[in-house]
A and B are shown apart, each in its own frame.
Chain A
Amino acid sequence: MGGLAVLGQQADPAAKAVPAADAPNGALTIGGVIALTGNANLYGQDQRLGISLAREWAGSRRRQPGEPPLRPLHFQLQDGGSDEATAIAGFNLLIRQGVLALIGPTLSQQAFAADPIAQRRGVPVVAPSNTAKGIPQIGPFISRVSAQSSVIAPLSISEALRRDPRIRRVAVFYSQDDAFSTSETAIFQRTLRARGLTPVSVQRTQLADNDFQIPITAALQADPQLVVISIQAVGGGNLVRQLRELGYRGAIVVGNGMNTPNIYPICQRWCDGILIAQAYSPELDTPVNRTFRNLLRGSSPDRSPSQITAQAFTAYQVLFEAVQRLQRRGGLENVNLGQARKALMEELLAGQYDTPLGPIRFTPDGELVQGQFYVAQVRMDPGGRSGRFALVRETGVSGGAGGSASPPAR
C-alpha cells in the first residue's frame, strides 16, 4: 500500500514546481476537453473554433508599458466524445499531464460526470456551454461562462406569446435521457404554467432519436399552436424538419441545444422562423465583439458568429486574463502546480471581463453574472442551406445568473 501511495504521489503533477515565466518551458498549459466525435460534435466544432480565435486574440496582445511580459499559454485539446466515459478519460489524461486549468466538457451531462474529477484534484474548470442547473455547485473549482437555462429559456416563450397572445395549446418535446434537456424542459414547462398554459402533449424522446414520425403525429392530434423543443442539435433539427413536413404551421420555440448554425443543413428551409433565446448576439457593438467577429471572418468566412463559438472564446479569454493578472501580482512565482491552480481559481472568480458576450463576472460559487440576453429568430437564405440568427429582442435580466455586470476597469 505504501509503495502505491508513493507511486501515486509521483504521478500527481500538482506537487511539481511551476516553471519561471522566463524559463524555456515557461508556458503554462490549458487543457480543453471538447466533443470532436459523436452527436455533440456539432457543438464541439463551434467550441474548437472559438478557442482557436481566442488564442489568436491572446497571441496578438502586447504587454503594457511598465508591466511584466505576458505569460504564454499553451493549449492542449482532447476529444471528449459525446458521452460521459470519454469526457472523464479526457479530464484524467490532461490532469495527469499537468494542465493549469480545463475548458469543457461540451455537454452538461458530461460535466456532471467529469467535473467532480477536476474538483477532487483541485483543477479549475471553465465550462463554455454547460447550462444545466447545478454545474458550478459541483464544487469551488467549477465555473461557467454560460448563463443557466433558467435565466435564458423563459425569454423565448415570452416572445412567442407576445407575438401571438391567443396561444393556448402547447406541445412539448424533450430528450428524457439527457441532463441538459430535462433540466431545460422543466424550466420551459414552469414558464408555461406561470403563464397559465398547461402542455396539451408532452413527448419524451431519446438522445439518439432522429425519426420523430410517431411522437409528432401523437402531438399533432392535440392540435398545438406552439411547440417547445429541448433536444440537442441533430435530433432537434430533424424534429423541426419533420414537424413542418407533417404539416405543423404554428410557432416553434427551441432550447439552447439548437443554438448553433450547424442546425441549418439539417432542418434547411424548415428552420425558418424558429425562436430561440441566446446569451450572445453578433449585433452587440463592442470592441471585443468586433474583434471576435473580424477574427471569425478571417478564419472562416462562411460561418456566422454563434453563441457557442463566442462562449468558447470567452472561456479561454477569462482564463488568459486571470493568468496574466496572477502573473502581474507574482502569484505564479515559487509555487507548485497545485497552489497555482488554487490561486488561479480565486483570481478567475474575482475578475471582471469585457467579452464578446458583453461584460461578465462570476459569483463566489462560479456562476456567471451576465447583464444582457437576446431572443433571435432563424432566417434561412432562399437556398435553404444557410441562414442566420436574426436579433428580435434584447432583454436585461436582473437577479440569478443575470444581473448587473458592470464593465471591467481596464
Chain B
Amino acid sequence: MIEALLQTLLNGAASGGVYALVALGYTLVFSVLGVINFALGALFSLGGYLTYLLMGGRISANGGLPGWGLPQGLSFTPALLLAALLTGLVSLVVERLAFAPLRRRRAEPLLYLITSLGAGLVLVNLLQMLMGAEGYAFPATALAGLPDALQVAGARIRSVQVLLLAVCAAAVIVLTLWLERSRSGRALKAVAEDATTARLLGIDSGAMLRLAFLLSGALAGLGGGLIGVSISLPGPYMGISYGLKGLAVLVLGGLGSVPGAIAGGLLMGLAEALVPGDASGWRDALAFAILFLVLLLRPSGLLGRRQVEKV
C-alpha cells in the first residue's frame, strides 16, 4: 500500500516538475506583460534540439543533410545549460518580432495571443525544415555513470526522471530566490506589480520585460533538453503538448503566481499519476477535469490573487 502510494507520488512529481517549469516560463511573461506567450511550446522543442545538437547529435533533415552534426560535442550538463541560454536568446527575438510592435501600439491582449501563436508555428516549421521531421534519440551514454533506475522503498523511478525532478526543483528554487532576494529580481516583481510606478522609481521596465522573456525561454529550453534526454525527440511538435499542459498549470495555479505554478504543476502531475493503469489513456481527460473543477470552485486558481477592478 505504502509502496503504491510512494510510486504514485514519485510518478506525479516526475511529470509535475516539468509542467511546473513550463508554467513558470508562462508566469514570468504573464506577470510582467499580462499576456500569455504561446510560442513557449515551440521554444521547449527548440531547447531539446539544441541540447541534442550541442552534444554532437547527428541529424538527417529529411534526408537532405544525412549525418550532419557539429564536429565536437559537449557533455550533457554544459550542452543543456548552453541550449537553455540560446533558447532564451531566441525568446528575446520572439519578443522583438511578435510582442514589441504590438506593445508600441498598445494593442489588445488578444492580439498578442495570435502573434505569439504565429511565432511558435513559424519556429516549429523552421525546426522541421532545418532538422527534419524524423525523431532523434540522445545516446545512451548521455547520462553515463547513472544507473538506469533507482528503487526507493520498493517504488521504482528512472534515474533520468530523478535528474529531471532535481533540475526542475533547483531551477524553481534559484528563480524564487532571485525574485525575492536580488535587486533585479525585485525590480522585475515591481514592474509586474505596477509598471508605471516602477518606471517612476527609475526601473527600466523594457529591460525587465526582456529579462522576463530571456528567463522564460531559458526555462522552456531547460525543460526541452531534459525531456529530450528522457524520451528522445519525437519531432518538432514535441513541445506543443507540454506547452498546453504548462498553460493549464498556469491557470490552475493562478495566473502570474510563481508558487501557484509550482503547486499547479505538482497537482497536475499527481492527478495524472492517480489515474488507474487500465484507464491510463484517459489521463489527460482526467487531469483537465480536475482543472475544470478547481476553476469552478476558485476562478482565480489555487494561489492566484482575485482581480480587483479599480473604478
Q: Do A and B bind each other?
A: yes
User: By the criterion CB–CB under 8 Å, are B158 and A221 in contact?
Assistant: no
On whether the beta carbons of A213 and B157 are closer than 8 Å, the reply is: yes
Pick the contact of A384 from B133, B140, B283 — CB < 8 Å? B140
Evaluate contact between B234 and A217: CB separation under 8 angstroms.
Answer: no
Q: B231 an interface residue at 8 Å Cβ cutoff? A: yes
> Which of B15, B273, B276, B281 contacts A177 (CB under 8 A)?
B281
**Cβ contact within 8 Å between A221 and B279:** no
Residue B135 CB within 8 A of the other chain: yes
Residue numbers in B under 8 Å from A217 (CB-CB):
7, 11, 155-156
Provide the bound-state CA to CA distance between A71 and B14, in Å: 60
Q: Which residue of B lies closest to A174 (CB)?
A: B281
Is B278 interfacial (CB 8 A cutoff)? yes
For chain B, the bracket of interface size reads: 35 or more
**Interface contact B140-A204, CB-CB below 8 Å:** no
**Contact at A201–B149, with CB atoms within 8 Å?**
no
Residue A125 is within 8 A (CB to CB) of chain B in the complex: no
**Chain A residues, Cβ within 8 Å of B241:** 208
B281 touches A39 (CB 8 A): no
Residues 1-44 of B, flagged 1 when their CB comes within 8 A of A and 0 if not, give 00010010001001100000000000000000000000000000
Q: Which of A155-163, A238-246, A320-328, A349-357 contacts B (4 or more CB under 8 A)?
A: A238-246
CB of A213 within 8 A of CB of B135, answer no
The chain A residue with its CB closest to the CB of B60 is A45
B128 contacts across to A, CB distance below 8 A: 37
| Segment with Cβ contacts to B, from A104-112, A186-194, A265-273 | A265-273
Near B by CB (< 8 A), chain A positions 190-209 give: 201-206, 208
A238 with B11: CB separation less than 8 A: no
Contact residues, B236-293 vs A (CB, 8 A) = 237-238, 241, 272-273, 275-284
Q: Is A247 an interface residue (CB 8 A)?
A: yes
A76 to B128, CA, bound (A): 22
A211, B231: Cα distance in complex, Å: 6
Nearest-CB residue, chain B, relative to A264: B137
In the assembled complex, how far is the CB of residue A333 from the closest CB belonging to chain B, in whole angstroms? 39
Shortest Cβ distance from residue B31 to the other chain A in the assembled complex, whole angstroms:
29
Query: B230 an interface residue at 8 Å Cβ cutoff?
Result: yes
User: Chain B contact residues: over half helix, strand or loop, or mixed?
Assistant: helix
| A contact residues, total (Cβ < 8 Å) | 44
Number of A-B contacts (CB under 8 A): 117
Within 8 A of B (CB), among A235-269: 235, 237-238, 242, 244-247, 262, 265-266, 268-269
Residues of chain B within 8 A (CB-CB) of A384 are: 140
Q: Which of A38, A205, A238, A247 is the one whose CB lies under 8 Å from B235?
A: A38
In the complex, which residue of chain A has the Cβ closest to the Cβ of B277? A218
- Cα A176 to Cα B280 with chains together (Å): 10
A41 adjacent to B232 (CB under 8 Å): no
Q: Are B140 and A269 in contact (CB under 8 A)?
A: yes
> Which residues 120-160 of B sit at the A interface, judged by CB distance below 8 A?
128, 133-137, 139-140, 148-149, 151, 155-160
Report B-chain residues with C-beta under 8 Å of the C-beta of A242.
Answer: 158
Q: By the criterion CB–CB under 8 Å, are A219 and B277 in contact? A: yes
- For chain B, residues 192 to 235, give those with C-beta under 8 angstroms from any C-beta of chain A: 227, 230-232, 234-235
Q: Which residues from A are CB-within-8-Å of B149?
A: 245-247
Interface string of A162-177 (1 = CB under 8 A from B): 0000000000000111
A181 to chain B, nearest CB (A): 11
A42 touching B277 in the complex, CB below 8 Å, given contacts A213-B157, A234-B232, A237-B232: no
A238–B232 CB distance below 8 A: yes
Judged by a CB distance under 8 angstroms, whether A215 is at the interface is yes
Q: Does B63 contact A (CB under 8 A)?
A: yes
Cβ of B182 under 8 Å from chain A: no
Most A CB atoms within 10 A — which of B128, B232, B234? B234
Q: Which residue of B lies closest to A45 (CB)?
A: B134
Interchain CB contact (< 8 A) of A206 among B227, B231, B281: B281
Contact A210 B231, CB 8 Å, known A245-B149, A265-B137: yes
Partner of A266, one of B4, B135, B156: B135
**A206 with B235: CB separation less than 8 A:** no
Q: Is the CB of B277 within 8 A of A215?
A: yes
B12 to A, closest residue via Cβ: A214
Please give the distance in Å from B4's CB to the nearest CB on chain A.
7
In the assembled complex, 19 residue pairs joining A and B whose CB atoms fall closer than 8 Å, in A order, are A39-B135, A204-B278, A204-B282, A211-B15, A213-B157, A213-B161, A214-B272, A214-B277, A214-B280, A217-B11, A217-B156, A219-B277, A220-B156, A221-B7, A245-B158, A247-B156, A262-B135, A268-B139, A385-B139
Beyond A217-B7, A234-B234, list 8 extra A-B contacts (CB 8 Å): A37-B128, A38-B133, A201-B277, A204-B281, A213-B11, A217-B156, A244-B148, A245-B148
Where the two chains meet, the residues of A that have a C-beta atom closer than 8 Å to any C-beta of B are: 36-39, 41-42, 45, 175-177, 201-206, 208, 210-211, 213-215, 217-221, 234-235, 237-238, 242, 244-247, 262, 265-266, 268-270, 384-385
